[in-house]
């Protein structure tokens, strides 16, 4: 674990405090396990620091519910009840976004993805959250449902101090170009390659 | 995210249920960010499933406290209070392990690491936890403080249904050999390379 010491000191005339406080864009990509789990692990740190957290899952099925959602929403409730940590909002594309409550499982996924991104842009402009997790967001970008140039411009010019984490395979080079941190989760070995099924507590 | 479908069906005469329920050994290695955060993200899933969770951090300084500890211990308290989720124990090597309460910051780290591993062996034999996170455990192995062959034998023959996650750089090949899942978190880009300092909510 990096202990907070940079390997070089840049000639950018910023103070240590300024460099410490820059908002980050993090990208977790690659074909290995751990991209989303690491993002939600980071949400724990953020919650503990009192960050306002917004999770936006670009998943096709709203039925796909992972344990992290239950726990992070529980932590959000705890914030409401006791003031501990920060507030948590969790939205899934699935059959329409939580804020639009549009019914129907035959929703147009491309349109839903575009609507999700439009809402995220509104929130970034309003500085609604301090940590955004755009889970599996590389897919709608790669499928052309969300315009990569718009994403790059919006994220580059986002106001205030808002961290953003994007997960998913095959991150667009334009995205990794503007990211502060990119980790490639590389699959060395996976139980499913040995024919093993996913299981509770591990995959969900 | 793998949706639970294996890519091959092995000829091992096990039922789907048996294959689904095999305990896993997971290794998060590589020089990128996300090894520990992904392990703690997994702990969220485990907690939500009611797993008894044991975290063992092989860190040199007990002062190094990360947000995940506060949150997971809080979730453990919640289990005690309301029965939600599972119980959580969190132990740090630092200046002696939590269970031994040995004082002194000048503790012998090699001996402390060996003591930690001995306790973990006892717990594995007693099936104390359902999910073990051995955070930064590759280092005491690589430094020769903990015997890799003992680790391999103990983990290979652990009884019952106990998942184990090991994090840290340069995982010993003997360890990845017996692991069910290995992800290498590869550093593509890191803010510290650009001279940026670690910051709250991201590094701790």
Q: Tell me the chain A residues in contact with residue B192 when contact means C-beta distances shorter than 8 Å.
A: 2, 5-7
Q: Tell me the chain B residues in contact with residue A18 when contact means C-beta distances shorter than 8 Å.
A: none
Q: What is the edge-to-edge ordering of all strands in the sheet holding A25-29?
A: A88-92, A53-57, A131-135, A163-167, A25-29, A181-189, B181-189, B25-29, B163-167, B131-135, B53-57, B88-92
- Its ipTM equals 0.83
Residue B57: closest C-alpha in chain A: A1
The answer to whether the Cβ–Cβ distance between A181 and B200 falls below 8 Å is no
pLDDT tens-digit profile, chain A (204 residues): 445 566 666 666 666 656 667 899 999 999 999 999 999 999 999 999 999 999 999 987 777 788 999 999 999 999 999 999 999 999 998 878 888 766 554 458 899 999 999 999 999 999 999 999 999 999 999 999 999 999 999 999 999 999 999 999 999 999 999 999 999 999 998 888 888 888 888 888
Q: How far is CA A49 from CA A58, A86, A87, B71, B155, in A?
A: 26, 7, 11, 10, 36
Give the best residue of B31, B32, B53, B135 to mutate against chain A (max A CB count within 10 A): B32
The answer to whether the Cβ–Cβ distance between A189 and B180 falls below 8 Å is yes
Residue with tokens 């929130």: A123
CA distance to partner chain A, nearest, from residue B199 (Å): 6
Q: Tell me the chain A residues in contact with residue B46 when contact means C-beta distances shorter than 8 Å.
A: 67, 201
């Amino acid at each position: 674990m990096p202990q907070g010491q940079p390997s070089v000191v840049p000639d950018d005339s910023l103070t240590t405090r300024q460099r410490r406080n820059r908002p980050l864009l993090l990208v977790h990509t690659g074909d290995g396990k751990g991209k989303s789990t690491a993002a939600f692990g980071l949400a724990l740190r953020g919650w503990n620091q009192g960050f306002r957290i917004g999770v936006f899952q670009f998943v096709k099925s709203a039925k796909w519910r992972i344990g992290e959602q239950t726990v992070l929403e529980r932590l959000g409730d705890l914030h409401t009840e006791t003031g501990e940590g920060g507030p948590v909002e969790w939205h899934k594309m699935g059959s329409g976004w939580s804020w639009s409550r549009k019914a129907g499982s035959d929703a147009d996924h491309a349109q839903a993805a575009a609507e999700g991104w439009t809402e995220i842009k509104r929130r970034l402009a309003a500085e609604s959250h301090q940590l955004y997790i755009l889970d599996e967001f590389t897919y709608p970008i790669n499928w052309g449902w969300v315009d990569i140039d718009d994403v790059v411009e919006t994220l580059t010019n986002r106001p205030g101090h808002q961290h953003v984490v994007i997960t998913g395979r095959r991150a667009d080079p334009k995205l990794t170009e503007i990211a502060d941190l990119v980790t490639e989760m590389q699959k060395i070995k996976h139980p499913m390659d040995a024919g093993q099924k996913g299981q509770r507590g591990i995959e969900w």
